[in-house]
Amino acid sequence: MVRGATLYSPVLRELEQVEATLDSLKRADSPRLSQMMEHVLSGGGKRVRPAIALLAGKFGRYEGELLVPLAASIELLHTATLVHDDVIDHAATRRGRPTANSLYDNGATVMLGDYMFAHAAELVARTGNIDVVRLFAHTLMAMAGGELSQDLSAYDYGQTTVEYFQRIGGKTASLFAAAGEGGAIVSEAPQPFRRALRAYGESVGLAFQIMDDILDFTGDEGEMGKPIGSDLLQGTLTLPSLLLMERYPKDNPVRKLFGRRDRARHLAASIELILNSDILDECRSVAADFRDRASRTLAELPRSPARDSLTEIAEYVVERRS
């Protein structure tokens, strides 16, 4: 059953078809591969990205038989990146469930992610639209570039907020943007609508990632499936930690944490400083600014139940708790 039935009501039937498409991918050529696919595709998820793609299709000629493969490819691409992320981060759990790399060896898990990328490409090719195929390729490059930037800058104390926004723009927001633009392209929506839906997706994606970065300090470990402050422990600077360094440029526990000595103590000190300040409120304000920016772009689209749902999705993104 798709989560967020009320939120996604204009496209609920097609979202169920997306789920059925993803379920069909669990039936692979070998029992072991089927077992791996079953594990990584049964972790739930709120399906925000495929819902955006389907809702964007409402602003042109809506053809579910083309939009459903696009929406499924976007969700599969997202899931494949998580599989690779968990290998890179040596993560044991995700949202309270064992990761694929904790159940299988890293080599097999990397190949599983590659297998999912290939399936995502095949799904997007079903649209028969070269512009969408090109968008898929550019999006995959942007996401990989964002991940590379994050990995290559791990434990680099000299990062800036400008670099942070560039990184999350590629790593996270590019897929949200592709969902909005891709749905509009497949439905042959007018160019102004395509631009508005891409801008909407990008702003929602930025807000989504900032909220993820906040939840890394405030979320419930059971729900999030990872320890509090895990990004810092992995050497990743997010908006809260960047603001902390701006406030305390000299005597900063993040710098000491990145020095790789007594990490547990310096991590605890960093978390305490962030939680006992207004830094997270400032981050929420930034996320809310992106939400408002997304809502303003929707004003360029005709009023409809789909536009209302997109507005509600932008609100949900900054209100979520997991």
Domain CATH code at residue 68? 1.10.600.10
Span of 93-102, 125-134, 240-249 with lowest mean pLDDT: 93-102
Beta-carbon contacts of 177 under 8 Å, excluding residues fewer than 6 positions away, are 139, 198, 199, 201, 202, 205
Is 81 inside a domain boundary? Answer: yes
| C-beta neighbour count of 13 within 10 angstroms | 13
Residue 211 pLDDT more than 50?
yes
Is 3 inside a domain boundary? Answer: no
Is 145 inside a domain boundary? Answer: yes
Q: Mapping DSSP to helix (H, G, I), strand (E, B) and coil, where does residue 98 land?
A: strand
Residue 220 pLDDT more than 80?
no
Q: Is the Cβ–Cβ distance between 15 and 309 less than 8 Å?
A: no
Query: What local confidence, expressed as pLDDT, does residue 5 receive?
Result: 62
- Please state the rounded mean pLDDT for residues 44-59: 94
Q: Which two tokens stand for residue 310?
A: 């997109």
Is 256 inside a domain boundary? Answer: yes
Q: How far apart are CA 168 and CA 183, in angstroms?
A: 22
- Please state the rounded mean pLDDT for residues 33-53: 89
Is 34 inside a domain boundary? Answer: yes
Q: What is the rounded average pLDDT for all residues in the chain?
A: 91
* Structural domain span for residue 269: 9-296+305-317
| C-beta neighbour count of 163 within 10 angstroms | 15
Q: Among 233, 182, 228, 218, which Cα is nearest to 49's?
A: 182
Confidence label for 227 from pLDDT (cuts 50, 70 and 90): confident
Residue 1 pLDDT more than 50?
no
Query: What local confidence, expressed as pLDDT, does residue 224 receive?
Result: 58
Is 262 inside a domain boundary? Answer: yes
Report the number of distinct structural domains present in the chain: 1
Q: How far apart are CA 254 and CA 243, in angstroms?
A: 11
Residue 139 pLDDT more than 80?
yes
Is 152 inside a domain boundary? Answer: yes
Confidence label for 105 from pLDDT (cuts 50, 70 and 90): confident
- Please state the rounded mean pLDDT for residues 95-108: 81
Q: Among 238, 239, 213, which Cα is nearest to 226's?
A: 213
Is 322 inside a domain boundary? Answer: no
Query: What local confidence, expressed as pLDDT, does residue 267 receive?
Result: 93
- Please state the rounded mean pLDDT for residues 208-221: 90
Query: What local confidence, expressed as pLDDT, does residue 322 receive?
Result: 77
Residue 70 pLDDT more than 70?
yes
Span of 37-46, 88-97, 140-149, 279-288 with lowest mean pLDDT: 88-97
Residue 4 pLDDT more than 60?
no
Span of 131-140, 149-158, 186-195 with lowest mean pLDDT: 149-158
Regarding pTM above 0.75, the answer is yes
Q: How far apart are CA 93 and CA 224, in angstroms?
A: 9
- Please state the rounded mean pLDDT for residues 99-116: 88
Residue 152 pLDDT more than 60?
yes
